[in-house]
Amino acid sequence: MNEDIKVVLIGAGRIATHLGKVLLGSGVKIKQVYNRSLGAAKRLGETLDCQYINQPTSIDLNADLYIVCVSDQAIESIAAQFSFLDQKDKLIVHTSGATPGKVFEGHFRRYGVFYPLQSFSTEQEVDFQAIPICIDANTQADVQLLQGLATGISPKVYAINDEDRKLLHVAAVFVNNFSNHLSALMDQWLTAEQIPFELLQPLIQMTAQKLEKQSPATAQTGPAIRGDIDTIARHLDVLAEKKPELLPLYKWMTRSINPNLLPE
Amino acid sequence: MNEDIKVVLIGAGRIATHLGKVLLGSGVKIKQVYNRSLGAAKRLGETLDCQYINQPTSIDLNADLYIVCVSDQAIESIAAQFSFLDQKDKLIVHTSGATPGKVFEGHFRRYGVFYPLQSFSTEQEVDFQAIPICIDANTQADVQLLQGLATGISPKVYAINDEDRKLLHVAAVFVNNFSNHLSALMDQWLTAEQIPFELLQPLIQMTAQKLEKQSPATAQTGPAIRGDIDTIARHLDVLAEKKPELLPLYKWMTRSINPNLLPE
């Protein structure tokens, strides 16, 4: 079915690159890549073996879907710039978890969201089979069109409205950005103390892997959930001596895991 | 070389079980399992095909190493109870990251630590090849004995003194317990909002996997590190409306990732 869908990519960054490749692999016809910078458009256009352009007026008017893969801040102005596509009754979507689909309202009558819930890095190859795709559109027919497209690249397709996606994006920040930052804080600290951070590597992997089979609540271990106040007291001493700026975080987390501990 | 080492396990819980199995597999002779409860001693004794006892006086006096695998709170009283082994000049170690080796001082002349840096669950099989073993002892000869034992079960053996291990244990709490708790908080919230938590699964796995190849500092993504104040403002609105108790954590983390953001 994806063979019938003609797509134009607006943007040529990480998401456009990963998404373009996997869509192409699923049989979608990528008609063009647009990017303000012709160099970036060319790079991705050559990768995907399609036209590349840097003038909005050169855009192909015969695609079925225009996928906006730009930073959150730029989506609205792109919507305005390409609003002439609405005269051709075209469907436009963006790939952002943080921006509502309604950003297109006023510029487009047919709009939606095609949000792969993952953190993309340039270097790493992406296995879309494992990535949930959250789709939304303002008509049921377009939800179905996006559903078809998404199903071609991942078995995990979810219809998620603006309200729920907003919440999901906050949650992604907690489990991805904040969790990674915990590791960054420990890396900084251990390295300064000349203890190899690699010692924590297997534990970090195991922490994530456990959640493939258990809920986080049942996977919880450690002094806080055990109510082990002696160990916690020792930890507070270490932090007070060596890393006092982390005391508020340690206390907040400990109380959140076990509200009976550390009364204020 | 491990074929020559005779071990008695004191304790029959999760760590004793996992460690007993892998030591046995590496050729170590497990002489006995001691546990206060005979039932638990029997269960592990039968698994390891060795004697099981619940009386300290029945302990085998001819082992080379006595490994105390009990909760942190119980280590000191175990040390006192078995201090008669010191008359035979025996080496005793515990498996705890949180308790200093010095806990044995006053009861034993030869003591140390054999700490597998991992979070063990009963259900899950453990691949010791991936687990760092932190060893320490109060004589160089015993450091070498423990090194030999550890090398038989894992390629990742580190000599870590009490001071550094204390710090490492705090760090393990951050990257394991606190990171898991971030997932638990999100699971609670999403489930209450009838959004499937499984949507975040692949992101959680990817977050950990990235650290196999990159440092956490270079792996950091998200609105805070980008300085994307519009997205952060939207997140703060969502939290203020739906989950105000998480606002302090969100703000702390955001400021910690990017000190230029959210001035107090």
Please tell me the predicted confidence (pLDDT) of residue A3: 67
CA atoms of A115 and B33, how far apart (whole Å): 54
Average pLDDT of the residues of chain B: 95
pLDDT in tens, B23-38: 999 999 999 999 999 9
CA atoms of B250 and B223, how far apart (whole Å): 12
Please tell me the predicted confidence (pLDDT) of residue B122: 65
Beta strands in chain A (DSSP E): 6-10, 29-34, 51-53, 65-68, 91-94, 110-116, 133-137, 157-159
Number of cross-chain residue pairs from A and B with Cβ atoms under 8 Å apart: 293
Helix-, strand-, coil-residue percentages of chain B, each rounded to 5: 55, 15, 30
Question: What part of A 122-141 touches B (C-beta under 8 Å)?
Answer: 124, 130-132, 134
| pTM (predicted TM-score) | 0.91
CB contact under 8 A, A201 and B187: no
Please tell me the predicted confidence (pLDDT) of residue A83: 97
Cα–Cα distances in angstroms (integers) from residue A5 to residues A94, A139, A159, B45, B177, in the given order: 17, 18, 20, 64, 46
Question: What part of B 146-185 touches A (C-beta under 8 Å)?
Answer: 156, 158, 160, 164, 166-185
Q: Select from B160, B182, B215 the residue whose CB has the most chain A CBs within 10 Å, as the one to mutate to test that interface.
A: B182
pLDDT in tens, A14-42: 999 999 999 999 999 999 999 999 999 99
Ordered DSSP codes for A26-59: TT-EEEEEE-SSHHHHHHHHHHHTSEEES-GGG-
DSSP SS3 for A68: strand
Residues of A in contact with B197 (CB under 8 A): 215
**With the C-alpha atoms ordered B90, B95, B99, B100, is the resulting torsion angle positive or negative?**
positive
Residues of chain A with pLDDT under 70: 1-3, 121-124
CA atoms of A141 and A147, how far apart (whole Å): 10
Structural domains of chain B sorted by starting position, each given as residue range(s) with its CATH number in brackets = 2-160 (3.40.50.720)
Residues of A in contact with B118 (CB under 8 A): 202-203, 206
From A60's Cα to the closest Cα of chain B, the distance in A is 31
ipTM of this complex prediction, to 2 decimal places = 0.91
Minimum-distance CB partner of B98 among A196, A200, A234: A234
pLDDT at B247 over 90: yes
Q: What percent of chain B has pLDDT over 70?
A: 97
Contact present, B152 and B1 (Cβ < 8 Å)? yes
CA atoms of A19 and A36, how far apart (whole Å): 19
CB contact under 8 A, B215 and A187: yes
Please tell me the predicted confidence (pLDDT) of residue A120: 73
Please tell me the predicted confidence (pLDDT) of residue A123: 66
